[in-house]
């Protein structure tokens, strides 16, 4: 059982449906994108309701009107139960106008604002959800004296205004931090973050910085050593396959190394930096393709999906299982420091999300919609990670992901051909060290701001909770009690009903009086 609320003596409690007047909007018959003398009334759809962005106007014929004294509720859709203050215009079919006669409508508006979460989560309908009227109209609605309603609304709006000002400042600070984050990443891959480090390198190390040509030579030597190891591992895998009676698919021979490709004149970089293609800096591979056959495989293993990979973040609360064959394991097994790149997600903003694997689950494999980049020993995987998160990295991902058909997706070849700047391993590590420190400070500040923003939401809820228990403002003994207000409302409603009935009776009487019997026509005679 819930806690019984003791309201002030001057308050009354009714079901909301006993006092509220409501009317659902309608789709107008005649609309125009331009306001004119004929189409003069703004049409309030969801976009106009939320953003005051009017795209349509109507002549008002057979429409439901509302004004600033009403308040509105979203009746249908994912935001069912959301309330907003009234707007002068014509109401759309997904909105309901609510009004409480002789009461401060803003008081009722804030009351329903405090109920939004419950109304929304308990919406009805198997298709498009809609507000449950049984829930809405059966809320116990506490009614203070009208003067106290006014004081409560004034106090709420004063406190909310102060909170909103603080939220706005926090939001601006959060935006500025994001800009600073992007600026750091941008400067990192222009060589600006390590400019001082390069200037001091020779004096501290007793030797000059490696030149770009020396960097290329180092990369070529390291690539060849990596390939030689791949060949040895493949030969061992083939032997094991043969010893096992050639069961399953024969291990694939590593692809022969192509000449390293240096991209010239792409951007202004320090002399010790060069632009390379990603597949010259790392081994790029796909993962396991999900299909029904895999349910019957003897061995089921943990594997990562797109849903597990976010921007520099792995969400591992839900790990799925998939059937796997022994010959698939070497190619799809995740190892520490592997980069996982999201192939596609329907949204260009989400394509290319990248995170680094730290062996959180062992063994673990990955699906084909996650492209794996395993950096060679002359490229720090975190350096690549930060580049793909940088403005330039995001720009290049979007460029290669785009297509003439309007679809956005990555592929092994597109990821392989991403161009990124590289410097010596020593300087890469310096870039990472600086970024780790500064980005950590940014994340800490953003986290603190997020906590404060959440506190602001909770504070608003607490204010509303106090308001509707009679604890936000003091009672005034000179206020007329709510019982008298309700008597006035009842009397007014009765007067309206009586007037309506009288008008209906008069109309019927007039119609009856105007109804005359038909006169009989006299037959005409012919003259002889």
What's the 3-state SS for 116-168?
HHHHHHCCECCCCCECCHHHHCCCEEEECCHHHHHHHHHHHHHHHHHHHHHHH
For the whole model, what pTM was predicted?
0.77
What string of DSSP letters covers 449-479? HHHHHHHHHHHHHHHHHHHTTT-SS---TTS
Instruction: Please state which of the ranges 231-245, 400-414, 425-439 shows the lowest mean pLDDT.
Output: 400-414
Determine the CATH number of domain 1-143. 3.90.220.20
In the chain, how many H helices and how many E strands?
Answer: 14, 23
Closest CA to 396 of 509, 266, 511, 218: 266
- CATH superfamily entry for domain 210-423: DNA methylase specificity domains (3.90.220.20)
pLDDT confidence tier of residue 516, bands split at 50, 70 and 90: low
Judging by beta carbons within 10 Å of its beta carbon (0-12, 13-18, 19+), is residue 179 exposed, middle or buried? exposed
Structure tokens at 290: 């999900």
What pLDDT is recorded for position 167?
96
Three-state secondary-structure class, residue 384: helix
Residues 35-60 have a mean pLDDT of 90
Q: Which contiguous run of DSSP H or E holds residue 301?
A: strand 300-304
What pLDDT is recorded for position 524?
46
The reply to whether omega before 363 is within 30° of 0 (cis) is yes
Structure tokens at 21: 């007047």
Three-state secondary-structure class, residue 345: coil
Q: What percent of the chain lies above the pLDDT cut of 70? A: 96
Is 73 in contact with 58 (CB distance < 8 Å)?
Answer: no
pLDDT at 278 over 70: yes
Structure tokens at 22: 């409501």
Most confident of 65-69, 373-377, 448-452: 448-452
List of E strands, 325-453 = 339-342, 354-356, 365-366, 370-375, 419-422
Is 442 in contact with 177 (CB distance < 8 Å)?
Answer: yes
Is 81 in contact with 115 (CB distance < 8 Å)?
Answer: yes
Judging by beta carbons within 10 Å of its beta carbon (0-12, 13-18, 19+), is residue 369 exposed, middle or buried? buried
Is 485 in contact with 145 (CB distance < 8 Å)?
Answer: yes
Q: What percent of the chain lies above the pLDDT cut of 90? A: 64
* CA 211 – CA 272 distance, rounded (Å): 5
Tell me: the pLDDT tens digits for 153-206?
A: 999 999 999 999 999 999 999 999 999 999 999 999 999 999 999 999 888 888
């Amino acid at each position: 059982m819930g806690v019984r609320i003791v309201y002030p003596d001057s308050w009354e409690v009714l079901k909301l449906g006993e006092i509220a007047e409501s009317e659902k909007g309608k789709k107008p018959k005649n609309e125009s994108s331009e306001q004119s003398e004929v189409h003069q009334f703004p049409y309030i759809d969801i976009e106009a309701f939320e953003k005051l962005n009017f795209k349509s106007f109507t002549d008002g014929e057979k429409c439901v009107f509302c004004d600033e004294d009403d308040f509105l509720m979203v009746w249908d859709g994912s935001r069912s139960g959301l309330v907003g203050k009234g707007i002068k215009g014509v109401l759309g079919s997904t909105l309901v106008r609510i009004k409480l006669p002789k009461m401060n409508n803003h008081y009722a508006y804030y009351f329903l604002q405090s109920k939004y979460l419950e109304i929304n989560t308990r919406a009805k309908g198997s298709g498009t959800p809609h507000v449950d009227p049984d829930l809405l109209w059966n809320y116990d609605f506490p009614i203070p004296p009208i003067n106290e309603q006014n004081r409560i609304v004034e106090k709420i709006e004063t406190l909310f205004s102060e909170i909103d000002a603080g939220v706005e400042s926090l939001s601006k600070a959060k935006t500025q931090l994001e800009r600073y984050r992007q600026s750091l990443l941008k400067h990192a891959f222009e060589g600006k973050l390590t400019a001082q480090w390069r200037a001091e390198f020779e004096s501290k190390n007793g030797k000059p910085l490696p030149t770009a040509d020396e960097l290329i030579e180092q990369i070529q030597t390291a690539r060849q050593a990596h390939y030689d190891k791949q060949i040895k591992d493949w030969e061992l895998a083939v032997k094991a396959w043969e010893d096992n009676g050639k069961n399953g698919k024969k291990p694939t021979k590593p692809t022969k190394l192509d000449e390293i490709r240096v991209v010239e004149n792409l951007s202004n970089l320090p002399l010790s930096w060069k632009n390379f293609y990603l597949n010259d800096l790392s081994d790029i591979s796909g993962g396991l393709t999900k299909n029904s056959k895999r349910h019957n495989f003897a061995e089921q293993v943990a594997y990562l999906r797109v849903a597990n990979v976010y921007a520099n973040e792995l969400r591992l609360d839900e790990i799925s299982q998939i059937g796997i064959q022994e010959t698939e394991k070497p190619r799809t097994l995740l190892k520490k420091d592997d980069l996982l790149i999201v192939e596609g997600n329907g949204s260009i903003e989400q394509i290319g999300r990248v995170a680094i694997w730290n062996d959180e689950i062992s063994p673990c494999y990955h699906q084909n919609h996650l492209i794996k980049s395993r950096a060679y020993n002359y490229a720090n995987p975190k350096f690549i990670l930060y580049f793909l998160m940088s403005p330039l990295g995001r720009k290049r991902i979007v460029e290669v992901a785009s297509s003439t058909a309007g679809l956005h997706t990555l592929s092994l070849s597109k990821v392989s051909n991403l161009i990124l700047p590289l410097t010596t391993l020593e300087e890469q590590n310096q870039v990472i060290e600086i970024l780790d420190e500064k980005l950590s400070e940014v994340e800490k500040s953003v986290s603190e701001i997020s906590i404060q923003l959440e506190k602001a939401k909770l504070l608003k809820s607490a204010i509303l909770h106090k308001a509707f228990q009679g604890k936000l403002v003091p009672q005034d003994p000179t206020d007329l009690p709510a019982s008298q207000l309700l008597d006035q409302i009842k009397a007014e409603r009765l007067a309206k009903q009586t007037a309506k009935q009288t008008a209906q009776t008069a109309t019927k009487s007039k119609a009856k009086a105007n109804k005359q019997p038909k006169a009989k026509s006299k037959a005409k005679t012919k003259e002889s």
